[in-house]
Chain A
Amino acid sequence: MTTTEDTRPSVQTADLDRAWATPPGFIGWLSNVNHKAIGFRFIVTAFIFLLIGGLQAALIRTQLIGPEQGFLGPDAYNQAFTLHGTTMMFLFAVPMIEGLAMYLVPMMIGSRDLPFPRLNAFGYWLYLFGGIFLYWSLFTGSVPDGGWFNYPPLSGPQFRPDTSIDFWLLGVTMTEIVGIVGALELVVCIARHRAPGMSLNRIPVFVWGVLVTSLMILFAFPPLVAGGLLLELDRKIGTHFYNPMAGGDPILWQHLFWIFGHPEVYIMLIPAVGMLATMVPAFTRRGIVGYPLVVVSLVAIGFISFGLWVHHMFAAGLPALAMAFFTAASMAIAIPSGVQVFALIATLWRGKLVWSTPLLYIVGFVLVFVLGGITGVMVASVAFDWQVHDTFFVVAHFHYVLIGGVVLPILGGLHYWFPKMTGRMLDERLGKIAFWLIFGGMNLTFFPQHILGFLGMPRRVYTFQSGLGWDFYNLVSTLGTYVTVAGFLVYTANMAINWSRGRPAGDNPWDAPGLEWATSSPAPAYNFAAGPTVSSLYPLWEPEGAAPRGQPGLLDELQGHRREIVGTTVLDAEAIEILELPGNSLWPLIAALAIVLFLFAVMIDSIVLGGIGLGAIVGSLACWLWTGSERTHE
Chain B
Amino acid sequence: MSRRAGTLLACAGALGALAACGDGSALSPKGPSARDIAGLWWLMFWLGLAVYVFVVALLLVVLRRRGKAQEPVAATPGEGRALIWGAGVGMTTVVIVALVLVSYSVGGRIYDRRGTSGLQVEVIGYKFWWEVRYLGRSDAITANEIHIPTGRPVDLILTSRDVIHSFWVPELAGKLDLVPGVRHALRIQADRPGEFRGQCAEYCGVQHANMLLLVVAQPPDDFDAWLDRQGQPRQQPTDPLTQRGEEVFVRTPCGACHRVRGTTATADVGPDLTHFASRRTLGAGVRPNTRGHLGGWISDPQAIKPGNLMPPTKLAPDELLALLAYMESLT
| Residues of A that sit less than 8 Å from B by CB | 73-75, 78, 145-147, 151, 153-154, 158-159, 244-245, 249-251, 281, 285-291, 293, 315-317, 320, 323-324, 327-328, 331-332, 334-335, 338-343, 345-353, 363, 366-367, 370-371, 374-375, 377-378, 380-391, 443, 447-448, 450-451, 453-456, 458-464, 468-469, 473, 511, 513, 536-538, 541-542
Contact = CB atoms under 8 A, between A and B. Distances in A.
B174 interface: yes
How would you classify the secondary structure of chain A's contact residues: helix, strand, loop or mixed? helix
Interface in B53-75: 55-56, 58-59, 62-63, 65, 67-75
B177 interface: yes
Contact of A346 (B80, B210, B307): B80
A461 B128 CA distance: 13
Interface string B1-30: 000010001001000100111111111000
12 contacts: A74-B207, A317-B176, A334-B92, A345-B58, A377-B99, A381-B103, A387-B26, A454-B170, A456-B24, A456-B199, A459-B201, A460-B209
Contacts of A375: 48
A454 B20 contact: yes
Interface of B: 5, 9, 12, 16, 19-27, 34, 36-37, 40-41, 44, 48, 51-52, 55-56, 58-59, 62-63, 65, 67-75, 79-81, 83-85, 87-89, 91-93, 95-96, 99-100, 102-104, 106-108, 110-111, 162-164, 166, 168, 170, 173-177, 179-182, 184, 197, 199-210, 306-307
A383 B307 contact: no
Given A374-B51, A387-B170, A285 B40 contact: no
Instruction: State the 9 A-B residue pairs at the shortest beta-carbon distance, nearest first.
Output: A386-B174, A244-B181, A289-B80, A461-B209, A342-B88, A287-B75, A381-B103, A454-B20, A346-B80
A352 B70 contact: yes
Contact of A384 (B12, B37, B79, B202): B37
Contacts of B200: 458
Contacts of B208: 458, 460-461
Contacts of A462: 209
B307 to A, nearest CB: 6
A382 B71 CA distance: 51
A451 B201 contact: no
A454 B38 CA distance: 10
A313 to B, nearest CB: 9
A490 to B, nearest CB: 18
B20 A286 contact: no
Contacts of B203: 78, 146-147, 151, 154, 390, 459-460
B73 A286 contact: yes
Q: Which of A317, A320, A541 has the most chain B CB atoms inside 10 A of its CB?
A: A317
B48 A324 contact: no
Given A74-B207, A327-B104, A381-B107, A315 B176 contact: yes
Nearest to A375: B48
B72 A290 contact: no
B67 A386 contact: no
Contacts of A287: 73-75
B201 to A, nearest CB: 4
A327 B103 contact: yes
B75 A450 contact: no
B16 A447 contact: yes
B74 A286 contact: yes
Q: Which of A145, A367, A511 has the most chain B CB atoms inside 10 A of its CB?
A: A367
Contacts of A153: 162-164, 180
A482 B51 CA distance: 30
A448 B21 CA distance: 13
A435 B330 CA distance: 61
A543 B175 CA distance: 61
A525 B104 CA distance: 57
Q: Which of B52, B108, B202 has the most chain A CB atoms inside 10 A of its CB?
A: B202
B29 to A, nearest CB: 10
A13 B24 CA distance: 72
Given A353-B63, A387-B175, A377 B180 contact: no
A315 B175 contact: yes
B73 to A, nearest CB: 5
Contacts of A542: 74
A389 B166 CA distance: 10
Nearest to B27: A454
Q: Which of A74, A347, A353, A366 has the most chain B CB atoms inside 10 A of its CB?
A: A74
A315 B186 CA distance: 11
Given A286-B72, A341-B88, A443-B9, 16 more contacts: A286-B75, A290-B75, A315-B174, A331-B96, A338-B91, A339-B88, A340-B88, A346-B79, A384-B44, A384-B106, A455-B22, A455-B26, A459-B203, A461-B209, A468-B197, A537-B75
Given A315-B166, A383-B37, A461-B208, A281 B72 contact: yes
Nearest to B5: A367
A164 to B, nearest CB: 12
A454 B28 CA distance: 9
Contacts of A345: 55, 58-59, 62, 83
Nearest to A389: B175
A380 B202 CA distance: 19
A327 B72 contact: no
B212 to A, nearest CB: 8
Contacts of B202: 151, 315, 390
B197 to A, nearest CB: 7
